[in-house]
C-alpha cells in the first residue's frame, strides 16, 4: 500500500533513546499508510543494530546507512529515499518522541484546510517529566489557513520536527537543509512559512522534544554552534530582504531578542575564541540590520547589544556576570522626569538606549495568602511595588486594591489596602540592588459589594493593585508567585451562588458563579452508589451522565423530590470500563485516577454541571482493590468522580512538639502496606516516614526539624513499603486545602504545610537564615558592608573550618593537642554534622561573614567565597579534595564544559591561600598548574586518610558498622560514583546518574552482600531500584574515609576515592560505562586510566555482578596493577598528614 506519510529519521549515536522514538512512530493512529526512512549517519554505538532490527520486524521502516555527514545531510538523504508518491512528509529527531495521534491530527487539519503544511505545539521532555517548550508559549489558540505575513508569532516557529508538509509543496520549492552546519532548521522553516499559501497551527502538542541535561550548557559555548546560529539567522534575514523587506526588521529584532540571547548569556563562560566568534558575528549582523532596530527591544537588551556594537566587551561581561548572580532585569533608575536605566559596572550610555518607557517601570503584584473568614469576608495579603524602585518608606509604596468587572466597562470597586512589611518581597525578587520591604498589602473584600441591583450577577471580577510612589502611578494585576500556586478558594453564599477566588491567564480573579445542582453526600447500596444533593435552581434532571476520559458515556437514573435529587450509580458499569491508555513517554507521570466528567441531563437533552460541597468525603466504594469509586470536590468546588486508590488527606495539623500529623483516607485493600514519601521538587531527594494503616484511614507523623527536610518544597506521596517506585501523590480534601497554609517554626526553620497544583500536599522548608540574612539583596549587603566592617576589627584566636574529610581530620588533631583556639564549623542548610568541640556557623549568615573576616586561621577543602580577602595575620590552609584523576581548573580550558568565568577567577581564589596541601607527589604539579597557585606547597599527604592508618582503626570500623546496622556476615560493597558535568542542573549541582541497576545487583548479590551507596556531595536524586536492607544510602555520612574503612570492596568510576582506598589493599572495581565520553568529551584524565587502573573496567551491571561473584580471581588478575598504582600515586600518606598540617597551621 502506498504510504500517505513519509517520516525521515536521521540517526547518530542515540542507542539509549532510539527504540522509544521508533515505537512512537510505529504506534501512529493514522488512516492510510506510513513509511519511516531511518538514515544511519555513521553511528558507532548500538543504534545501527536497533534500527536494522526494527526495520526487519516492521516493513514500514526502511534502513539506510551513510558515512557520517551531519544531521542536514541525513535528512536530505532521507527525503531522497522516501516514496515520492507519498502525499505528506515529516521529520523526527531520533532521540525524540511523537504522540500517538500527532500525525493523524495534523493531516486531518491539512485535509480540511488545504494548507501547505501544519505545525503544532511542543512538549519539552527531561528525566523529570514534561513541560511546555518555551519557544511555543505563544501558541495558546489554534490557527487555520494562516500565514506568517499576517501572524508574526510564526517567526518563532523555526524547527522542522513538529510539522507535516505536503510533499508537492516541499518538492516544488526544492527545500534542502544546509549541510555541514548546526541550527539547520531556521534557514528552511522561515522561508517555507513565507512561501506557503497558508499554514495550519495546532494548539495541542504534537511532539516531545527531549532535552538531555547538560547538553544545553555544552552547546552554549561551542564555537561552531555560535557561528552556525548567527549564519542561519543571517541567511533568513537576507532571504527576507529580497522576499518581504517589510518584515526583515521584525525578524532581525526577534534574533536579537531570542536566538542570540542564548549565546550572549554564555559569554562569561566562553573562552577567547568563543567570545571573538560571537562578537564578530553579531556585530556583522547588527551592521546589516536597521540602525533603529534596538528601539524594538527591552532596555536590558538595548544596553547589551549597544555594548556589543561598541565592542565594550569588559563592561558587557561584567553586566552578564551581574545578571548570573541574581541581577537579571535589575538596574538603578536615574532621573525625576525622564527616567533612565543605570547598570552596575557600565559607564555612560546614550539617552536613546537607556531611556525607560512607561512599560519598563511596571508595578509587580503577587498574592501571598487568601482566606475566607468566619465573618464571610475575604482577606488577601501579598506584596506590590514598582520594579527597580525601592519600597522602604510609606510614600514609596502607596497601594489600593481594585476589583474590575471583566466584561463590563466602568464596573469596578475600590478596595482599601493596608501597607504592611513584606521582607519576603525583597527576598523573592532575587536581585541585590533594591529593597522592597515595605511593599506588603492586606485587602479585605466584602462580597456584598459585588452585588448589582441588589443581587449577585454571574461574572468575573479581576483583582488588581494600584501602586503609587517615586512620582509614578501604576496598576498591576495580582498574580501567583509561581505557576504551581494557582489553586482556587470556594465560598458558598447560599441560594445556588458561590464565590470562587482563582486565576485566569495568570491573573487573580473573583468569580461569581451560579450552580443549579450540588452534590452534598453519598452512600453505598449494594452494587450501587447513591449521590444526594440539592437543586437550588429548581431544575428537574432525568439522569446523571458520566463521561469517561476515554470517551465512554454512561447515564444513570436520577430521582427528584422537591429541591433534592438522588442519582444511583451502578458500580460494576463503571468498573467495566478500562482506564484510558497512557500514551505519554515513561518520564511523564501517569494519571493516578480514572476520572469521569459528571453532568445532570435535563429532559430537553441539555446538561448542567455539578458542584459539590468542599467537605464531601471520598467514600471509596469498590469491588476490587485499586479501583475505588471516590466522589469529592476539586479546589474549584466542582464534583470529581474517579476510580482510584489515591490517598486523600483530610487532616493536616502541626502539633506542639513540632511534628506534622497527616491523616486521611486510604483503604487497606488497596494499600496493604505504605510509607509516606516526601520528595524534594528540585533535588529529587527522598525522605520516608512510617505510615499507620487502620481500616480505611492512614496516618503519618512528620518530624521535619534538625535538617531532616532541607530548604525547598517537599511533595507528599504514598508508596508501598520496599517499593522503590515514585508512589502516588497525596491529595488534599478541598475543605482541608482551603484552610492551608499552616506555618510552624521547628528548630530554627520555618515550615509550611500547603497545597500546590490545586490539591497536591506539600511541606515547604524555608531557609535557616534569619530574615535579615536571606536573599540576594541582604547577602550583597553582608558582603559589601558587614564583611568589610568586620575586617577592621581585631582578629580572633579561632579556627574556621569548611566541611570536608581533611578539615575534620585537622580539627581532630588540634583538639587532641588541646590547642587553645575556638573552633567554628561552617554548616550548610542544617545538613552538616558539627564535630564535638566545634560550634556551627550557618553559611551566608552574618556570623559567617564575621568569622571569615576575623578568624585567625581557616581550613578548607575547596574554594572560598570570591569576596574573601586574606588579612595580614590570617592563615588559610587549602587541603583540596584528594589526588585528582579527572582534570580540573585550567586544564579544562579546551573542553566544552569549561566555565571561563570561573577560570578567570582562579588566580584571585588561589591568592587567598597561604599554603596548599598536596596529597601526593604526583598531584603536586597538577594542582599548582590547574588551580593557578604558585605559593607554598606542603607535601603532607591527605589528612582525610589518616584514619586508614590509625592504631584504633578497627575500633572505628566497628563503631561505624554498628551505627549503620550492618550485619557481620555480609560482604560490604561501597558504591561511590563521581558526578557528571553533562548532568548539571544548577550552579555546582548535578543529577545523580542511576547507571547501576540496583535491583539487578540485589538479584545477583542480595543473599550475602550489602551495598552502601555514597552519591557525590555535589549530586542529588533518587536511587531507583534501591531496597533496604540490601541497599543503604550513606551519602549523608560525614566521613567518606570511615566508609572506606569498613568496605570490603570499592565500586567507583572516576572518583578520587580510588587513591584513598588503595591504602587498604582491598579490591576495587570500576563501573566505566561511559569511559570514552567522559575521557574524550567531558573531563579527561591526568593518567592513562585504562592501563593503570587497579581493577577491572566494567561497562554493565551484569559485569559488575559477575566480578563481585568472582572477586578472588578478579583481585588476583589485577594484583600487579594494584601494586603499581599504590607505588605511583600513594607515596605520602602515613597516618600523620593531619599532624603536619596542624604544625603549619599553628605556626
Residue 231, domain member (yes or no):
no
Tell whether 868 and 789 lie within a shared domain. Answer: yes
Output the nine-digit C-alpha cell for 217.
Answer: 550548557
Residue 510: name the closest of 379, 632, 608 by CA: 379
Q: Averaged over 690-696, what is the pLDDT?
A: 94
Mean pLDDT, to the nearest integer, of 950-963? 96
- Longest alpha-carbon distance in the chain: 95
Is pLDDT at 173 greater than 50 in this prediction? yes
Residues 667 and 581 in one domain: no
The sign one gets for the Cα dihedral 303, 305, 310, 314 is positive
Q: What is the tally of structural domains in the chain?
A: 6
52 and 170 housed in the same domain = yes
Quote the CA–CA distance of 79 and 153 in Å, as a whole number: 28
Of 168, 190, 212, the position where a domain reaches its end is 212
Q: Are strands 639-644 and 628-633 parallel, antiparallel or unpaired?
A: antiparallel
Written as nine digits, the cell of 594 is: 480514572
- Give CA–CA dist 519/543, Å, rounded: 14
Shared-domain flag, residues 899 and 985: no
Verify that 202 and 169 share a domain, yes or no.
yes
- Identify the CATH number of the domain in which residue 1074 sits: 3.40.50.12580
Q: Could you tell me if residue 927 is inside a domain? A: yes
Q: Can you give the pLDDT at residue 163?
A: 98
Pairing of strands 712-719, 675-680: antiparallel
Give per-residue pLDDT as tens, 762-789.
999 999 999 999 999 999 999 999 999 9
Q: 800 and 684 share a domain?
A: no
Pair 619, 716 in one domain: no
- Would you say the pTM of this structure is higher than 0.85? yes
pLDDT at 978 over 50: yes
Beta strands in 249-353 (DSSP E): 332-334, 340-342
Average pLDDT across the chain, whole number:
95
Distance, in Å, from the CA atom of 58 to the CA atom of 9, rounded to the nearest integer, reads 15
Residue 324 has pLDDT above 90, yes or no: no
Separation of alpha carbons 937 and 100, rounded Å: 62
Q: Are residues 581 and 667 in the same domain?
A: no
pLDDT at site 219: 61
Residue 365 exposure: Cα atoms within 13 Å on the Cβ side: 29
* Residue in the structure block whose three cell numbers are 596529597: 919
Q: Which of the four pLDDT bands, split at 50, 70 and 90, describes residue 127?
A: confident
Q: What are phi and psi of 1033, to 5 degrees?
A: -85, 110
Q: What is the pLDDT of residue 624?
A: 80
Q: What is the pLDDT of residues 349-363, one digit of tens each?
A: 999 999 999 999 999
685: CATH: 2.60.40
- 346 domain-assigned: no
Q: Which residues pair with residue 528 across a beta bridge?
A: 525, 570
C-alpha cell at 984: 548539571
CA atoms within 13 A on the CB side of 564: 8
pLDDT at 216 > cutoff 70: no
Residue 339 lies in a domain: no
Q: Residue 544 in contact with residue 532, Cβ under 8 Å?
A: no
Minimum mean pLDDT range among 259-273, 708-722, 819-833 = 259-273
Same-domain status, 481 and 379: yes
Residue-wise pLDDT tens digits, 1026-1064: 998 999 999 999 999 999 999 999 999 999 999 999 999
- pLDDT beyond 80 at 330: yes
* pLDDT > 70: percent of the chain: 99
Does 850 score more than 60 pLDDT?
A: yes
Verify that 60 and 135 share a domain, yes or no: yes
DSSP 769: S
Give the burial class of 1070: count Cβ atoms within 10 A of its Cβ; 0-12 exposed, 13-18 middle, 19 or more buried. buried
Q: List all residues 6 or more positions away from 1018 whose beta carbon is below 8 Å from its beta carbon.
A: 979, 988, 989, 990
For 88-152, the three-class secondary structure string (H helix, E strand, C coil) is: EEEECCCCCECCCCHHHHHHHHHHHHCCCEEEEEEEEEECCEEEECHHHCCCCCCEEEECCCCCH
Partnered with residue 118 across adjacent β-strands are 164, 200
Phi, psi of 780 (to 5 degrees): -65, -40
Task: Say yes or no to pLDDT of 217 above 80.
Answer: no
Q: Do both 519 and 590 map to the same domain?
A: yes
Q: Residue 699 CA to chain centroid, in angstroms?
A: 30
For 554-598, the pLDDT digits (tens) are: 999 999 999 999 999 999 999 999 998 889 998 898 899 999 999
**Domain end marker among 513, 529, 553:** 513
Quote the Cα angle for 329-330-332, to 5°: 140
What 8-state DSSP symbol labels residue 355?
Answer: B
Per the structure, the complete domain to which residue 417 belongs is given by 361-513
Instruction: Identify the domain boundary among 470, 494, 513.
Output: 513
Three-class secondary structure assignment of 167-234: HHHHHHHCCCCCCCCCCCCHHHHHHHHHHCCCEEEEEEEEEEEECCCCHHHHHHCCHHHHHHHHHHHH
Of 211, 160, 179, 187, which is closest to residue 68 (Cα–Cα)?
179
What pLDDT shows up at residue 623?
Answer: 75
Judge whether residue 77 has pLDDT over 60.
yes
Is residue 323 domain-resident? no
Angle, CA 694 vertex, CA 689 and CA 695 arms, to 5°: 140
Residue 287 located in a structural domain: no
Answer yes or no: is pLDDT of 214 > 60. no
Residue 970, judged by CB atoms within 10 A of its CB (0-12, 13-18, 19+), counts as middle
Q: Where does residue 505 fall: left (phi above 0), alpha (psi -120 to 50 degrees), or beta otherwise?
A: left
Query: Does 355 reside within a domain?
Result: no
- Per-residue pLDDT tens over the stretch 708-755: 999 999 999 999 998 888 899 999 999 999 999 999 999 999 999 999
The answer to whether residue 757 sits within a structural domain is: yes
d(CA 1137, CA 1147): 16
Q: Rounded CA gap, 751 and 662, in Å?
A: 14
* pLDDT of 882 over the 50 cut: yes
- Contact 913/878 with Cβ under 8 angstroms? yes
- Is-contact 247 198, C-beta < 8 A? no
- Residue 213, pLDDT > 70, answer no
Element housing 688 (H / E)? strand 686-694
Q: Say yes or no: 422 and 454 in one domain.
A: yes
Q: Determine the average pLDDT of the residues in 670-696.
A: 95
Question: Is the per-residue pLDDT at 253 higher than 80?
Answer: yes
Q: Bigger pLDDT: 899 or 58?
A: 58
- The arithmetic mean of pLDDT across residues 436-456, rounded, is 95
Amino acid at each position: 500500500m502506498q504510504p500517505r506519510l513519509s517520516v525521515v529519521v536521521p540517526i547518530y549515536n542515540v542507542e539509549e533513546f532510539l527504540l522509544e522514538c521508533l515505537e512512537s512512530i510505529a504506534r501512529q493512529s493514522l488512516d492510510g499508510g506510513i513509511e519511516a526512512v531511518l538514515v544511519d549517519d555513521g553511528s558507532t554505538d548500538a543504534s545501527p543494530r536497533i534500527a536494522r532490527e526494527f526495520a526487519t520486524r516492521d516493513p514500514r521502516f526502511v534502513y539506510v546507512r551513510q558515512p557520517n555527514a551531519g544531521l542536514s545531510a541525513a535528512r536530505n538523504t532521507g527525503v531522497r529515499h522516501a516514496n515520492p508518491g507519498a502525499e505528506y512528509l515529516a521529520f523526527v529527531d531520533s532521540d525524540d518522541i511523537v504522540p500517538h495521534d500527532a500525525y493523524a491530527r495534523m493531516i486531518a487539519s491539512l485535509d480540511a484546510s488545504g494548507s501547505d503544511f501544519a505545525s503544532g505545539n511542543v512538549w519539552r521532555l527531561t528525566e523529570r517529566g514534561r513541560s511546555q517548550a518555551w519557544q511555543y508559549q505563544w501558541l495558546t489558540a489554534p490557527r487555520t489557513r494562516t500565514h506568517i505575513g499576517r501572524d508574526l508569532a510564526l517567526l518563532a516557529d523555526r524547527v522542522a520536527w513538529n510539522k507535516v508538509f505536503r510533499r508537492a509543496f516541499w518538492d516544488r520549492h526544492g527545500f534542502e537543509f544546509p549541510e555541514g552546519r548546526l541550527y539547520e532548521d531556521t534557514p528552511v522553516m522561515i522561508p517555507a512559512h513565507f512561501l506557503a499559501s497558508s499554514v495550519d497551527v495546532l494548539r495541542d502538542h504534537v511532539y516531545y522534544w527531549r532535552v538531555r541535561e547538560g547538553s544545553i550548557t555544552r552547546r552554549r559555548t561551542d564555537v561552531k554552534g555560535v557561528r552556525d546560529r548567527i549564519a542561519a539567522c543571517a541567511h533568513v534575514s537576507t532571504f527576507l530582504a529580497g522576499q518581504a523587506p517589510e518584515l526583515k526588521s521584525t525578524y532581525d529584532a526577534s534574533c536579537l531578542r531570542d536566538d542570540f540571547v542564548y549565546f550572549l548569556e554564555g559569554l562569561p563562560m566562553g573562552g577567547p575564541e568563543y567570545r571573538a566568534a560571537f562578537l564578530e558575528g553579531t556585530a556583522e549582523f547588527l551592521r546589516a540590520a536597521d540602525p533603529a532596530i534596538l528601539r524594538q527591544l527591552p532596555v536590558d537588551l538595548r544596553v547589551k547589544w549597544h555594548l556589543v556594537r561598541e565592542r565594550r566587551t569588559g563592561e558587557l561581561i561584567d553586566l552578564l556576570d551581574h545578571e548570573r548572580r541574581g541581577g537579571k532585569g535589575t538596574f538603578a533608575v536615574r532621573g525625576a522626569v525622564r527616567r533612565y536605566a543605570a547598570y552596575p559596572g557600565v559607564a555612560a550610555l546614550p539617552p536613546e538606549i537607556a531611556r525607560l518607557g512607561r512599560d519598563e517601570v511596571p508595578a509587580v503584584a503577587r498574592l501571598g495568602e487568601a482566606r475566607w473568614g468566619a465573618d464571610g469576608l475575604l482577606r488577601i495579603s501579598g506584596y506590590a511595588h514598582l520594579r527597580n524602585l525601592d519600597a522602604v518608606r510609606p510614600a514609596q509604596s502607596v497601594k489600593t486594591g481594585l476589583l474590575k468587572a471583566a466584561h463590563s466597562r466602568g464596573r469596578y470597586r475600590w478596595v482599601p489596602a493596608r501597607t504592611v512589611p513584606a521582607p519576603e518581597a525583597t527576598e523573592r525578587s532575587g536581585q541585590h540592588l533594591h529593597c522592597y520591604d515595605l511593599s506588603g498589602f492586606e485587602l479585605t473584600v466584602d462580597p456584598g459589594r459585588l452585588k448589582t441591583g441588589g443581587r449577585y450577577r454571574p461574572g468575573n471580577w479581576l483583582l488588581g493593585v494600584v501602586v503609587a510612589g517615586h512620582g509614578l502611578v501604576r496598576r498591576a494585576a495580582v498574580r501567583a508567585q509561581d505557576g504551581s500556586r494557582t489553586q482556587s478558594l470556594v465560598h458558598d453564599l447560599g441560594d445556588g451562588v458561590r464565590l470562587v477566588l482563582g486565576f485566569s491567564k495568570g491573573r487573580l480573579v473573583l468569580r461569581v458563579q451560579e450552580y443549579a445542582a450540588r452534590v452534598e453526600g453519598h452512600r453505598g447500596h449494594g452494587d450501587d452508589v447513591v449521590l444526594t444533593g440539592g437543586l437550588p435552581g429548581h431544575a428537574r434532571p432525568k439522569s446523571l451522565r458520566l463521561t469517561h476520559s476515554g470517551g465512554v458515556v454512561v447515564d444513570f437514573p436520577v430521582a427528584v423530590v422537591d429541591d433534592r435529587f438522588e442519582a444511583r450509580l451502578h458500580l460494576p458499569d463503571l468498573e467495566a470500563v478500562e482506564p484510558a491508555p497512557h500514551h505519554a513517554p515513561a518520564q511523564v507521570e501517569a494519571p493516578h485516577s480514572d476520572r469521569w466528567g459528571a453532568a445532570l441531563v435535563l429532559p430537553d437533552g441539555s446538561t448542567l454541571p455539578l458542584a459539590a460541597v468542599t467537605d464531601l468525603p471520598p467514600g471509596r466504594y469498590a469491588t476490587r482493590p485499586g479501583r475505588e469509586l471516590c466522589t469529592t470536590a476539586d479546589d474549584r468546588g466542582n464534583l470529581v468522580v474517579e476510580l482510584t486508590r489515591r490517598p486523600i488527606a483530610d487532616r493536616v495539623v502541626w502539633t506542639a512538639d513540632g511534628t506534622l500529623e497527616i491523616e486521611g483516607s486510604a483503604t487497606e485493600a488497596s494499600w496493604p502496606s505504605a510509607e509516606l514519601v516526601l520528595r524534594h521538587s528540585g533535588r529529587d531527594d527522598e525522605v520516608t516516614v512510617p505510615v499507620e494503616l487502620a481500616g480505611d484511614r492512614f496516618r503519618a507523623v512528620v518530624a521535619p526539624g534538625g535538617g531532616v527536610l532541607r530548604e525547598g518544597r517537599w511533595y507528599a506521596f504514598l508508596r508501598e513499603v520496599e517499593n522503590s517506585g515514585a508512589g502516588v501523590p497525596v491529595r488534599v480534601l478541598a475543605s482541608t486545602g482551603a484552610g492551608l497554609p499552616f506555618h510552624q517554626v521547628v528548630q530554627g526553620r520555618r515550615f509550611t504545610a500547603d497545597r500546590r497544583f490545586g490539591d497536591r500536599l506539600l511541606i515547604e522548608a524555608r531557609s535557616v537564615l534569619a530574615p535579615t540574612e536571606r536573599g540576594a539583596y541582604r547577602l550583597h549587603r553582608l558582603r559589601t558592608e558587614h564583611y568589610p566592617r568586620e575586617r577592621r576589627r581585631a582578629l580572633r584566636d579561632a579556627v574556621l573550618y569548611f566541611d570536608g574529610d581533611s578539615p575534620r581530620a585537622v580539627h581532630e588533631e588540634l583538639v587532641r593537642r588541646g590547642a587553645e583556639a575556638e573552633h567554628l564549623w561552617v554548616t550548610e542548610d542544617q545538613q552538616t554534622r558539627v564535630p564535638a568541640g566545634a560550634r556551627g556557623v550557618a553559611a551566608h549568615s552574618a556570623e559567617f561573614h564575621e568569622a571569615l573576616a576575623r578568624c585567625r586561621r581557616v581550613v578548607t577543602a575547596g574554594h572560598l567565597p570570591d569576596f574573601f580577602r586574606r588579612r595580614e595575620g590570617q592563615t588559610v590552609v587549602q587541603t583540596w579534595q584528594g589526588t585528582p584523576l579527572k582534570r580540573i581548573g585550567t586544564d579544562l580550558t579546551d573542553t566544552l564544559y569549561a566555565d571561563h568565568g570561573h577560570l578567570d577567577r582562579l588566580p584571585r581564589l588561589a591568592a587567598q591561600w597561604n599554603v596548599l596541601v598536596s596529597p601526593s607527589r604526583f598531584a603536586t604539579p597538577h594542582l599548582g598548574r590547574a588551580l593557578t597557585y604558585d605559593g607554598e606547597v606542603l607535601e603532607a599527604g591527605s589528612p582525610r586518610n589518616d584514619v586508614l592508618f590509625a592504631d584504633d582503626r578497627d575500633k572505628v570500623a566497628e563503631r561505624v558498622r554498628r551505627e549503620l546496622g550492618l550485619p557481620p556476615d555480609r560482604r560490604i560493597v561501597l558504591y561511590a560514583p563521581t558526578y557528571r558535568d553533562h548532568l548539571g542542573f544548577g550552579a555546582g549541582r548535578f543529577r545523580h546518574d542511576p547507571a547501576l541497576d540496583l535491583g539487578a545487583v540485589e538479584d545477583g548479590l542480595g543473599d550475602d552482600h550489602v551495598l552502601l551507596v555514597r552519591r557525590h556531595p555535589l549530586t542529588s536524586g533518587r536511587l531507583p531500584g534501591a531496597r533496604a536492607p540490601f541497599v543503604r544510602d550513606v551519602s549523608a555520612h560525614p566521613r567518606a574515609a570511615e566508609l572506606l574503612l569498613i568496605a570490603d570492596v570499592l565500586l567507583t568510576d572516576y572518583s578520587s576515592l580510588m587513591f584513598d582506598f588503595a591504602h587498604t589493599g582491598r579490591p576495587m572495581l570500576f563501573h566505566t560505562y561511559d569511559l570514552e565520553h567522559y575521557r574524550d568529551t567531558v573531563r579527561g584524565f591526568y593518567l592513562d586510566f585504562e592501563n593503570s587502573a587497579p581493577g577491572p573496567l566494567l561497562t554493565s551491571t551484569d559485569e559488575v555482578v559477575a566480578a563481585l561473584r568472582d572477586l578472588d580471581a578478579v583481585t588476583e588478575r589485577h594484583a600487579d596493577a594494584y601494586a603499581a598504582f599504590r607505588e605511583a600515586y600513594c607515596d605520602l600518606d602515613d597516618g600523620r598528614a593531619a599532624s603536619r598540617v596542624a604544625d603549619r597551621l599553628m605556626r
